[in-house]
Amino acid sequence: MIHVEKLTKYYGNLCAVDQIDLDISKGEITGLLGPNGAGKTTTMRMITGYLLPTSGDINIKDLSTQDDMLAIKRLIGYLPESAPLYHNMLVFDYLDYVARVRGISGQARMARIQELADLCGLNDIMHKAIGELSKGLKQRVGLAHAMMNDPEILVLDEPTSGLDPNQIVEIRDIIRRIGKEKTIILSTHILSEAEATCDRIVIIDHGCIVADGSTEALKKASGQEKTIDISLVNADIDSVRARLGSIVGITDMEQIASTSADELRIRLCASGNDDIRRPVYQAIKETDWILVEFSQEGKSLEKIFRELTKEQ
Amino acid sequence: MSQAINIFRKELKDYFLSPIAYIVICIFLLVTGWFFYATFFYYSQASMRNFFNLLPIIFSFVIPAVTMRLFSEELHAGSYEMLLTLPVRLGDVIIGKFLAGVAFVAIMLVPTLSYAVCISFIGDLDWGPIIGGYTGAILLGGAFCAVGIFASSMTRNQIIAFIVGMVICFTLTLIDKMLFFFPASMVEVVGYLGAGFHFENISKGIIDTRDIVYFFSVIFIALYGSHLVLQEKR
């Protein structure tokens, strides 16, 4: 669907995007992650045709951005960061204008605007000026703008930034609803969001792709390390060390701060493919310790992100 | 081209959504009306020559105020990004906005037709210079709109766009009245560059192709310049 090859963009001497290769297939929801200034927005702007690449090629459905930009723009719906809309226009007038520019005429235009108003929940605000709307509502108008011609590809730049938790859930629901049949590229700072909505995650740092794959694949690639936190009552650290130390697979054991004085909190680190939960539980069961907490955590996306993008 | 029409419709509608349009029109009518009628009865001539003589100077500051927002506002708000990722060509955007500016100027001139009607009641008005004058006014307005759009495409600050546009328009208006500053060899060339000179020709009722070519050249050069400036930003 989208094929990007050796894409490079310089702003003066500053290299914003450095030889990126990316293939996105139909129906995929791809999340672009990266610290600020990593090149996510620049990449998206080049795919949507707002910026011209310094070098490299972008092909979308076998159309090249150099020769068929107008045809590509018809395929793509784009929502820039924080939805910069015309503040003095009414929501309805704005959508009507976008529909006209998108070449939807007559009866179809009204029907399409109504459809989008239902989908994005705009029915109550159709006759308000865009400048009066809250950020979340503006974002929804922006989404309606992006989806006007029912595009095959949606590019969303930080669709949930600056919204409150309720609005984030609303926007995420809309994205998930439309994501079933569309190819979506979205950028975000919120890692849990990428994990929840995206099929595939691409981490960009300093204009280069540093990781690419599904969340599971990323976790697998960055090692099998897991940690188990247990809280015990009626136990002391030395006897715990003696008892659990013999279990195969545990690489490290340390006491961590506990909220209550009579609870002993211990973090066990495990590596490899061994599932150590069973032997640990068995070992505890044989004693008179009381187990009040037992939780296993895989390596989080946050940790992977930090490892890949930390400043040298 | 149909995209240019869509942009034109939106921009023209935008003008009349905000109070600025009405304020600009009022100021224009007050200033032209005052300067025209203040001296009209001294001359006791049934002509609008004084009105048309004033027009280049008044247009020089009114039209940059009309066009200053066309690109600066979009660049400042970021809506330019949304506009350019719609299936439109940059050329369509520029032409649409230019036509909206010209249409606004035309609408602004409509009430002044009442001057001509009034004068025709009290004297024997020669309609030739009136028709020529309005034709010239639209051409002059078009040229200044194109210059204003060029200024607006260069900056995201509307005030700067206004001042730059006004300086260029004033220069075009006044340059043929400053000819004594130039060496004799340049007088003819510099005189030809003046918009005031060409406008006066047309407003006398003489429609000469050289003057029309001049105005269309200014429009083309300024709009092409905007295209280059905006293309460079990508």
At A288, which CATH number?
3.30.70.3100
Query: Using an 8 Å Cβ cutoff, are A160 and A188 in contact?
Result: yes
Would you call B139 exposed, middle or buried from its count of C-beta atoms within 10 A (0-12, 13-18, 19+)?
buried
Nearest of B213, B39, B89 to residue A70 by alpha carbon: B89
Give the span between the Cα atoms of B159 and A97, in whole angstroms. Answer: 28
Residues A299, A152 share a domain:
no
**What mean pLDDT, rounded, does chain B reach?**
88
Q: What integer pLDDT is reported at residue A201 of this predicted model?
A: 86
Residues A209, A116 share a domain:
yes
Q: What integer pLDDT is reported at residue A272 of this predicted model?
A: 63
Query: Using an 8 Å Cβ cutoff, are A174 and A19 in contact?
Result: no
Residues of chain A with Cβ-Cβ distance to B9 below 8 Å are 97, 100
Residues of chain A with Cβ-Cβ distance to B86 below 8 Å are 73, 98, 101-102
Q: What integer pLDDT is reported at residue B147 of this predicted model?
A: 94
Q: Which of residues 14-43 of B touch A (CB under 8 A)?
A: 14, 17-18
How many Cα atoms occupy the beta-carbon half-sphere of A141 within 13 Å?
33
Calculate mean pLDDT across residues B40-46.
77
Interchain pair A86, B81: CB under 8 A: no
How many pairs of residues across A and B have Cβ atoms under 8 Å apart?
A: 59
Give the span between the Cα atoms of B152 and B158, in whole angstroms. Answer: 7
**Is residue A206 included in any domain, yes or no?**
yes
Q: Last residue of a domain, which of A221, A254, A269?
A: A221
Give the span between the Cα atoms of B71 and B94, in whole angstroms. Answer: 9
Would you call A1 exposed, middle or buried from its count of C-beta atoms within 10 A (0-12, 13-18, 19+)?
middle
Residues of chain A with Cβ-Cβ distance to B22 below 8 Å are none
Calculate mean pLDDT across residues B191-197.
82
Q: What integer pLDDT is reported at residue A222 of this predicted model?
A: 65
Calculate mean pLDDT across residues B84-100.
91
Number of folded domains that form chain B? 1
Lowest mean pLDDT across A4-8, A70-74, B28-32, B40-44? B40-44
**Is residue A256 included in any domain, yes or no?**
yes
Q: Does A281 touch chain B (CB under 8 A)?
A: no
Query: Using an 8 Å Cβ cutoff, are B148 and B101 in contact?
Result: yes
pLDDT at B226 over 90: yes
Taking the alpha carbons at both ends of chain B, their separation in whole angstroms is 22
CA B101 to chain A, closest CA, distance in angstroms equals: 18
**Is residue A309 included in any domain, yes or no?**
no
**Is residue A312 included in any domain, yes or no?**
no
Calculate mean pLDDT across residues B59-73.
91
Residues A117, A38 share a domain:
yes
Residues A268, A161 share a domain:
no
Question: How many C-beta neighbours within 10 Å does residue B232 have?
Answer: 8
pLDDT more than 90, % of chain B: 39
**3-class state of residue A106 by DSSP:** helix
Q: Does A74 touch chain B (CB under 8 A)?
A: yes
Could you report the predicted ipTM of this complex, rounded to two decimals? Answer: 0.84
Residues A234, A214 share a domain:
no
Among A45, A88, A98, select the one facing B86 at the smallest CB separation: A98
Give the span between the Cα atoms of B126 and B47, in whole angstroms. Answer: 7
Residues A116, A261 share a domain:
no
Nearest of A86, A83, A111, A85 to residue A99 by alpha carbon: A111
Edge-to-edge strand ranges of the sheet holding A200-205: A76-79, A153-157, A183-188, A29-33, A200-205, A208-213
**Is residue A184 included in any domain, yes or no?**
yes
Interchain pair A50, B234: CB under 8 A: yes
Q: What integer pLDDT is reported at residue B142 of this predicted model?
A: 94
Edge-to-edge strand ranges of the sheet holding A290-297: A250-256, A263-270, A226-233, A290-297
Q: Last residue of a domain, which of A192, A221, A250?
A: A221
Q: What is the pLDDT along chain A (312 residues), one digit of tens a residue?
A: 888 888 888 888 888 888 888 888 888 888 888 888 888 888 888 888 888 888 888 888 888 877 788 888 888 889 888 888 888 888 989 999 999 888 888 888 888 888 888 888 888 888 888 888 888 888 888 888 888 888 888 888 888 877 778 878 877 887 877 777 888 888 887 777 787 788 888 888 888 888 888 777 777 766 666 778 888 888 788 888 888 777 777 777 778 787 777 888 888 877 766 677 888 888 888 888 888 888 877 666 777 777 777 765
Residues A153, A43 share a domain:
yes
Interchain pair A101, B17: CB under 8 A: no
CATH of the domain at A152: 3.40.50.300
Q: What integer pLDDT is reported at residue B98 of this predicted model?
A: 95
Number of folded domains that form chain A? 2
Higher pLDDT, B29 or A275: B29
Residues of chain B with Cβ-Cβ distance to A84 below 8 Å are 77-79, 81-82
CB contact set of B170 (below 8 Å; sequence gap of 6+):
B57, B60, B61
Give the span between the Cα atoms of B62 and B141, in whole angstroms. Answer: 10
Residues A217, A236 share a domain:
no
Q: Which domain holds residue B24?
A: 2-232
Q: Does A103 touch chain B (CB under 8 A)?
A: yes
Residues A144, A20 share a domain:
yes
**Is residue A311 included in any domain, yes or no?**
no
Give the span between the Cα atoms of A4 and B74, in whole angstroms. Answer: 29
CB contact set of B111 (below 8 Å; sequence gap of 6+):
B25, B29
Among A74, A93, A145, select the one facing B82 at the smallest CB separation: A145
Residues in chain A: 312
Best residue in A44, A46, A100 for a mutation probing chain B (most B CBs within 10 Å): A100
Q: Does A78 touch chain B (CB under 8 A)?
A: yes
**3-class state of residue A171 by DSSP:** helix
Cα A65–chain centre separation: 26
Residues of chain B with Cβ-Cβ distance to A102 below 8 Å are 86-87
Q: Last residue of a domain, which of A221, A247, A274?
A: A221
Q: Which domain holds residue A278?
A: 226-304
